[in-house]
Amino acid sequence: MYFIQQKPVPSPFPLSSSSDPSPDPLPLPEPDPSPDPLPEPEPEPDPLPLPEPDPLPLPEPELNPLREMKPYDILGPADLESQMMAKILARMQKLVDENVRKKIDSSRVGGGTGSGLSSDSSTSSLSNIVSNAPV
């Protein structure tokens, strides 16, 4: 690493000494006794006051005695969700039961063993083979 040695730099303006009869330096301009008044900042306009919100009248609860009280009228959102899931599951179970009933009824119409159970394809084909067998 190299260090650069600094040399004193001669001043372009020699220091004046009292014995040196040099002319007076240029006088500084005197400050203006009446400085230009700064323009007063415009006062910020008051922010617009927000209008008072009109209190909305709360809806009157229905006092209809004929209206049936539902469980979800007094339950919270989580209870309402579980209530709706219960309704959906009940509806799905009802649809499944209807489909099973329809399949059982359709198997009865097509014939069968007479016991109400659907006939198995293997038993029906076996009975056809036996009845059509040569003697």
pLDDT tens, per residue, the chain with 135 residues:
566 777 777 777 766 555 555 555 666 666 665 655 566 666 666 666 666 666 666 656 556 655 666 655 565 666 778 888 999 999 999 999 999 999 888 887 665 555 545 545 555 555 665 566 555
Distance CA 16, CA 23 (A): 10
| CA-atom Rg of the chain in angstroms | 54
Distance CA 73, CA 15 (A): 98
Distance CA 88, CA 82 (A): 10
Distance CA 34, CA 27 (A): 20
Q: How far apart are the first and last CA of the chain?
A: 122
